[in-house]
Amino acid sequence: MSRDHEGGLTRHAPLRRRLSQLVFFTTTLGCPLGWLALLATRSLAALSRGRRRQLARWSELLYAWSTHEVLAVVLFNSALELGQYFQYLLDPRCEPINALLREYFADQLSEPKCLSIRATTGPGTFVLAAAAAVSTAAGLQMHFSMRRTAAATLPVAAHPLGLAPELASDYSPPPDPQSAEGVEGAATDRSPPSEAAPALALPGQ
């Protein structure tokens, strides 16, 4: 790797770190809070149908990018597997050092190893997991209830091809031919018999 390339990587390292931090806090904190705020606004505020539909789309987008529950799962999983992962990576390189430690420092060290990792979970991990579970359950319940309400208020189109919801309100199904309304409409629409058209005169007649 050239020296200029190494210098470019060093100069852009702070920018990459800032970008990673921005993505992390946006997906783990900003998107979940924004999703719940949009759901609460859509449920409690008096908005038009178009505005409510727009807020529903944005709330679904923010929920798709919310990773607070993923972070909680990763923290619990890392507490179980992080030590095994580093042991798998570094044990071959640490074995010569471990032999020296066992030979010369066994009486001074409780565990003669060059590297020992034990990951633990603090109280904040359990708080995050509880908050993620409560927010996800409450948000999904609000989301599904709003979907059921929207489906119940949409007009049903009696059309074999299934008109779109925005066109269904302008469509009225035809009357039943067996009903009184259908018989009356058929009698009204029937036109009187027209007079016979005169025969065309052919040449030579």
Q: Is residue 166 part of a domain?
A: no
Residue 160 forms part of a structural domain: no
Residues 14 and 101 grouped into a single domain: no
| 17 assigned to some structural domain | yes
Question: Does residue 190 form part of some domain?
Answer: no
Judge if 30 and 126 occupy the same domain.
yes
Residue 59 lies in a domain: yes
In this structure, are 42 and 15 located in the same domain? yes
Domain of residue 114 covers: 77-119
Other beta carbons less than 10 A from residue 86's beta carbon: 15
| 111 and 40 assigned to the same domain | no
Are residues 141 and 112 part of one domain? no
Is residue 31 located within the same domain as residue 115?
no
Q: What is the pLDDT of residues 35-51, one digit of tens each?
A: 888 888 887 888 888 88
Question: Is 175 inside any structural domain?
Answer: no
In a domain, 168, yes or no: no
Q: Are residues 17 and 109 in the same domain?
A: no
- What are the pLDDT digits (tens) for 13-28? 788 889 999 999 999 8
136 lies in some domain: yes
Tell me the pLDDT of the chain averaged across its residues. 73
The per-residue pLDDT for range 55-68, each reduced to its tens digit, is 888 888 888 888 88
Count of domains observed in the chain: 2
| Between 10 and 41, the higher pLDDT residue | 41
Mean pLDDT, rounded, for 135-153? 75
